[in-house]
Structure 1
């Protein structure tokens, strides 16, 4: 046994050495032939192929290697058109330099190698560049000694993933906790601590070696696919991500209801159960906006039903009436679908006759066993299959389905011998979910052009965000370990373009029932993109079925989620127009060494700092507050100086949340669902700090449901500005915009300052003095007023603002 093991290790070592020598030989043999500029691109001919450099902006460049006699498949990652700005090529006997604004490439002719530069400073050097070995091909780059590397998609490995060899193969990871090397959504993306991103535009099965085999070498290898990569460089983290999503596509806005509470479990067995659950939420005064129907909507049993795509009428006798009834209560219906069709079940014969399946070597449907039965797989890469599948979605959407959940889309089981229209399973595996999301998104654009789609999926590729995909972190274990991994996953995926990564709140797998764990997970959920509980049936996923103490805490947090709708909706808008992240790592705003490894605390937007409680029985928690700002405790309004670690005492009622001093936060009154969201009442919370001279903020508002075309003017923008001069504080709130459905003629705006340094001496609204009341009226009395809460040192100034106008509040402090 031991001799055999030693032999296998020696064999592997010899293979790796031989592989490395072959690659080095290829590089030494590569000779420069010529270079020419074609419009804004550079084309370099070498002895074994052509290298094309395509600038997309002053910070992003695509690089494609076309080997002699080969043709690359089209890009799946990039949607941006090449830049039309001026590029410059310079050549001398030794070097070719190609510059496009701030990004440039230097090609050394002999020995041949390539250096990439940003602002004329090298940030990445090819070691051997492109290689083509037996069974795999790819690229090799050099790494700096002090370079940290993030990326590789969805993993639980720590923030710095250097030293790992990562398999690129989307695969289910049932019941994972604090370590998961391979998960549902792998990505051939590398994010360097030197502030550049390297994204390999290749969806084939492969590996991403981050200095594991050789510590100073980054290697991408794949069994086939497109031999190209995208380079993005910047001098700020937020701009790096923004520039990356500018090239790969931005997430379109969701309907407002998708930011609300979504109830789900595996699963609801009948129409009556669904209606009873919704009614119980309402009876318990817990807001709800959607309910997800898992696989029992199309069959009675867990197994043996995939591929019907039709309502199981025994359990759901009147589905359209059910959805209409739920909608009248403000609750939308989301249905699950899978790309598998079991043999001789549902639509199998139709799909077989129309040749919609992946095939075997003889052209027949490739049939195989997996958990749910003996199945075929839809060939999502065939135009005929996409059209057929979309017709199913179109029918149910017309009947009232508001959102779609695509499950098992890795695909969960994908035999290597299965053939798709565009290649083998291995060659296209990581593109399957990407193409599936595109099928639904493009279908909505064609047949429901005004509707914003909601598309939940757990697997995809670079740029899947542009198809509205809402990824979630899969079948996480219902445990403290499962909770502990979620911030890392969300932060990593956000930086790679997938800003809406979320988790099954409460945990999915297993029967561990712990009210403390459940509470902590749902508290965290308020400050992450999609608020959706989901679990296997042994332990309830929904708060309505927990004890009163747990229910009361969770209710308060879900209502907070609804109060934050204007802030969260504005975050959504920012992500859609400039790629700004919803969840941001602390190192985005603080360059303190070590913060690149921080995965316990993060920023929710620009203003909130959140540190979820992820350990059972914890009574205190260390929280680092980034430098450059003071931070105000959201619950107590106590102010702390940034650039320090503090110890926060814990109890079950809250988690550590801080607000950046000077922030202007738009909030709303809570509601049972977003269908009764009231935009005519706006609360603006100003976190006053006398040391901050100026503060700015904004709020975006539209009808919350209509998909706006480029340039369409049907929205309103509020601008907030605060100025501190000595003992005088001025806050102005101004709106400008255009007409849209539901835009109020006037709004009651409450300016709240929860951390003022004493009762004001005088308050003016638009230059007119207002009375400071000792009790707050229930309804607006028709003219501006102020209310001072002496117990909390909290000031409220309430006034009415007509659409398209504004208000200025001036506070004279003692």
Structure 2
């Protein structure tokens, strides 16, 4: 280590009249910039001497993550976007100005750059050290009055570089601030912990201790636990590195957090809320919002390695719909694990090939499953083993990550046959024309056979040599020569693998749509690994190959909530556990009861004893069936939440403090095992063996500071918030579930064998007016409907309204069609109050839709 703290910084006057940027240069040639990108978003760069991030021949001059709100996924290039163009990606701030301030010390200089929302200040100390602070603007941005900084660089050590390579950023750590976001192990709050920035195949991980996991997440959200004021920092780099939230302590410097990148420059964005929902919306503005999945993705999605590994796999899967019918459980999908690609002679897994002994009629199997509503998502892996029939052809075309020393493919050990086996092979280089062409052809072949979507798996890209090369031959217009893996980043390949699968699927659907004169279906892509921006292509992700245990059930809750805060809004877990022993009957029940409240609901496993299935314990089947049926009745609510995720980034599952940021107890231990589903429903699943009750914290009202009213979802009983309650959770009850006063939850009453099966032309809206004696109030929820499957589908949006007057002795409801682009299968919405609520219901408004009271 040869760390340097640049000194002698001075302000470099702008060459133009633009007032949106500040430029500073140190005595050693290090350069730093501060730019107002949007009213709530600032960009900061720091480049050590000799590193020119503006050189168009360097990958440092490009970004694959920052796209702006008008970006379309189909328009994104293998080369990404030129960083020099970023100023035009977002709306320009309404007012941007710079103000130079004399700090009172003739040798110190302070420069300010303000927008209506944020003021950034750059201070140069007497010895020329640069420190930045960011504060929410308290008044008009033309005023010098700002609130206390929400982010402050660590004085005297903010920006450093290592002469052996690498950069670091140090920030002052406040005791009142908690850190969150990204796929990281439990607990929810990350303060006091350190994480590597990398991604590994961490099968059977310890949910509290294992790091790194499957996703590359160079960002965090910071929330002041006394005020709820929120900001995020996103580091736009795929370089390996680390991020420390206070694990490291050095008394001389005080409390700090630290980001380190092994290679490259610092290029980061400061994003301001000030509320948490606004912050996530601003993050989606910068990084792109998650893609809208098809409605079927909310159904039960089956999976197990054991199906495709079985010698009689074709028969097992052929009979799967009949088994689901026998159990009377709906199902919408089957993940086809990689056993279908196993070479019958060598046991090697060869992507885009078929084991015709296990699967004698793949197309016929897909036809049978599709006819029964079970869509198929084949597993595909981003490498070829050296024995793959296409290996030599791809090698000849330089479609692999390349070893420049041997002028041959980068070789590594890759999973080949059964557990723990490996063989020599090479990763595809998804910046190359050859790899993308081969990959897209293979994906389209699977889609032609009847697959509905792709399952990108084992895509962590554990390349062991930083000097191995990506060709960028698929981006001829960008003038990029081959780039080293260490500088460009392994996670770039993960992201570009997603773009290749997405493009192939979209091209296939467009061709099918054009042939039938219909709108093309939405691409549906599932990914295990991930990097910033992958949510623009992959509609689903999950917490990887977890381990069967009560501990995992508990820890996966906070993993999912943190992932959602990092824009992985459509996220779930391997219910029942992937690795380890079979779940006990009670563990399986409680895991399913938790899973039905998540955006992604999938049971998946790899067990020596056989597959984990929803009907594997006959004595538990009635409870499990009831839980899954509940899931399907809630799909109108969930589907609206998916639309909101695709518009604003708001995750389906949200932390306790999402809407209760000023309640200090919302950040406490309860936040690790409780979460909101959308704006109204609070879920606290059962996480202990044998438990028949559990403690639940019900937040207090953020506006009044008093205990809000909460309705028990199962009993209709009202409870005052601001305190912990003991909730009954008998085995047949699907968690401790409460709805906040004013909650509005659209449902349907008819459940078929899959989403869309039979007549689902009904909507029953559950209203939760505050209990009698409450103060006046009004609430609304906009239900969003469309065809559920096509890109750009027109929507119909119904604003559903709830109101009570002082005393809340009557309930006033209304409905108004705001947008009428989709023809509904119903013209009446049923109104239903909680169990035991006999108050009079008055219909105030019926604009474009009717309301009818349901007893």
* Conserved 8 A contact 2:811-2:842: no
Query: What is the aligned partner in structure 2 of residue 670 from structure 1?
Result: 751
Compute the TM-score of the two structures, normalised by the length of structure 2. 0.83
Q: 5+ unaligned residues in a row in structure 1: which ranges? A: 1-14, 768-800
Query: What is the aligned partner in structure 2 of residue 643 from structure 1?
Result: 722
Aligned pair count reads 748
Q: Distance in 2 between matches of 1:645 and 1:528?
A: 23
Q: Distance in 2 between matches of 1:407 and 1:303?
A: 21
Pairing 1:680–2:761 present: yes
Q: Distance in 2 between matches of 1:233 and 1:637?
A: 39
Query: What is the aligned partner in structure 2 of residue 7 from structure 1?
Result: none
Cα-to-partner distance string for 1:415-437 (whole Å, 9 max, x where unaligned): 55643335434331233322211
- RMSD, aligned α-carbons: 2.5
Give 1:550 shift: 1.3
Query: What is the aligned partner in structure 2 of residue 363 from structure 1?
Result: 407
More displaced 10-residue stretch of structure 1: 641-650 or 518-527 = 641-650
Please give the residue correspondences for 1:488-637 in structure 2 after superposition, counting only pairs within 5 Å: 488-590=558-660, 591-597=662-668, 598-628=671-701, 629-637=708-716
Query: What is the aligned partner in structure 2 of residue 798 from structure 1?
Result: none
* Conserved 8 A contact 2:341-2:354: yes
Q: Distance in 2 between matches of 1:764 and 1:734?
A: 15
Query: What is the aligned partner in structure 1 of residue 86 from structure 2?
Result: none
Change (3 A) 1:101 1:387: farther
Cα-to-partner distance string for 1:488-545 (whole Å, 9 max, x where unaligned): 1011111111112210011100124401111111110011111111001335555354
Q: Give secondary structure in 2 for the equivalent of 1:443.
A: helix
Change (3 A) 1:603 1:510: same
Pairing 1:54–2:35 present: yes
Change (3 A) 1:387 1:407: same
Give 1:379 shift: 1.1
Query: What is the aligned partner in structure 2 of residue 196 from structure 1?
Result: 231
Change (3 A) 1:40 1:380: farther
Query: What is the aligned partner in structure 2 of residue 693 from structure 1?
Result: 777
Match of 2:92 among 72, 84, 98: 84
Change (3 A) 1:415 1:316: farther
Query: What is the aligned partner in structure 1 of residue 263 from structure 2?
Result: 224
Change (3 A) 1:267 1:424: farther
Pairing 1:125–2:152 present: yes
Pairing 1:97–2:112 present: yes
Change (3 A) 1:49 1:43: farther
More displaced 10-residue stretch of structure 1: 581-590 or 112-121 = 112-121
Cα-to-partner distance string for 1:401-422 (whole Å, 9 max, x where unaligned): 1011111111256455643335
Query: What is the aligned partner in structure 2 of residue 27 from structure 1?
Result: 6
Q: Give secondary structure in 2 for the equivalent of 1:219.
A: strand
Pairing 1:41–2:20 present: yes
Q: Give secondary structure in 2 for the equivalent of 1:208.
A: strand
Pairing 1:144–2:173 present: yes
Please give the residue correspondences for 1:173-322 in structure 2 after superposition, counting only pairs within 5 Å: 173-179=202-208, 180-194=210-224, 195-214=230-249, 216-269=255-308, 270-299=313-342, 304-322=347-365
* Conserved 8 A contact 1:280-1:544: no
* Conserved 8 A contact 2:333-2:377: yes
Match of 2:437 among 373, 381, 387: 387
Q: Distance in 2 between matches of 1:302 and 1:84?
A: 61
Give 1:619 shift: 2.9
Match of 1:154 among 170, 183, 186: 183
* Conserved 8 A contact 1:607-1:660: yes
Q: Distance in 1 between matches of 2:609 and 2:555?
A: 21
* Conserved 8 A contact 1:664-1:686: yes
Change (3 A) 1:678 1:71: farther
Q: Give secondary structure in 2 for the equivalent of 1:571.
A: helix
Q: Distance in 2 between matches of 1:524 and 1:677?
A: 27
Change (3 A) 1:198 1:36: farther
Change (3 A) 1:647 1:292: same
Change (3 A) 1:306 1:380: farther
Cα-to-partner distance string for 1:696-750 (whole Å, 9 max, x where unaligned): 1121000000010xxx7x111111112223643221123343444xx33643432
Query: What is the aligned partner in structure 1 of residue 428 from structure 2?
Result: 378
Q: Give secondary structure in 1 for the equivalent of 2:319.
A: helix
More displaced 10-residue stretch of structure 1: 304-313 or 239-248 = 304-313
Change (3 A) 1:627 1:301: farther
Query: What is the aligned partner in structure 1 of residue 82 from structure 2?
Result: none
Q: Give secondary structure in 2 for the equivalent of 1:387.
A: helix
Give 1:548 shift: 1.7
Q: Give secondary structure in 1 for the equivalent of 2:575.
A: coil
Q: Give secondary structure in 2 for the equivalent of 1:254.
A: coil
Pairing 1:409–2:439 present: no
Cα-to-partner distance string for 1:363-414 (whole Å, 9 max, x where unaligned): 2012222332221111123244223312211222233210111111112564
Query: What is the aligned partner in structure 1 of residue 63 from structure 2?
Result: 75
Cα-to-partner distance string for 1:258-291 (whole Å, 9 max, x where unaligned): 1101110013232221111221011211000011
Match of 1:114 among 129, 132, 156: 132
Q: Distance in 1 between matches of 2:354 and 2:388?
A: 14
Q: Distance in 2 between matches of 1:392 and 1:183?
A: 28
Query: What is the aligned partner in structure 2 of residue 747 from structure 1?
Result: 827
Query: What is the aligned partner in structure 2 of residue 9 from structure 1?
Result: none
Q: Distance in 2 between matches of 1:523 and 1:43?
A: 53
Cα-to-partner distance string for 1:648-682 (whole Å, 9 max, x where unaligned): 12321111111112212110122210131644211
Query: What is the aligned partner in structure 1 of residue 140 from structure 2?
Result: none
Q: Give secondary structure in 2 for the equivalent of 1:322.
A: helix
* Conserved 8 A contact 1:37-1:43: no
Q: Distance in 2 between matches of 1:362 and 1:273?
A: 46
Give 1:551 shift: 1.3
Match of 2:811 among 722, 726, 729: 729
Q: Distance in 2 between matches of 1:300 and 1:466?
A: 34
Q: Distance in 2 between matches of 1:765 and 1:529?
A: 32
Query: What is the aligned partner in structure 2 of residue 424 from structure 1?
Result: 484
Compute the TM-score of the two structures, normalised by the length of structure 1. 0.87
Q: Distance in 2 between matches of 1:125 and 1:622?
A: 38
Q: Give secondary structure in 2 for the equivalent of 1:675.
A: coil
Query: What is the aligned partner in structure 2 of residue 784 from structure 1?
Result: none
More displaced 10-residue stretch of structure 1: 513-522 or 163-172 = 163-172
More displaced 10-residue stretch of structure 1: 269-278 or 499-508 = 269-278
Q: Distance in 1 between matches of 2:540 and 2:811?
A: 42
* Conserved 8 A contact 1:178-1:485: yes
Q: Give secondary structure in 2 for the equivalent of 1:115.
A: strand
Q: Distance in 2 between matches of 1:677 and 1:408?
A: 37
Change (3 A) 1:697 1:305: same
Q: Give secondary structure in 2 for the equivalent of 1:448.
A: helix
Query: What is the aligned partner in structure 1 of residue 395 from structure 2?
Result: 352
Cα-to-partner distance string for 1:85-123 (whole Å, 9 max, x where unaligned): 342122356322111221222122343322222213322
Change (3 A) 1:308 1:244: closer
Q: Distance in 1 between matches of 2:345 and 2:245?
A: 40
Q: Distance in 2 between matches of 1:168 and 1:41?
A: 31
Q: Give secondary structure in 1 for the equivalent of 2:398.
A: coil
Query: What is the aligned partner in structure 1 of residue 73 from structure 2?
Result: none
* Conserved 8 A contact 2:465-2:485: yes
Q: Distance in 1 between matches of 2:465 and 2:579?
A: 25
* Conserved 8 A contact 1:177-1:479: no
* Conserved 8 A contact 1:208-1:218: yes
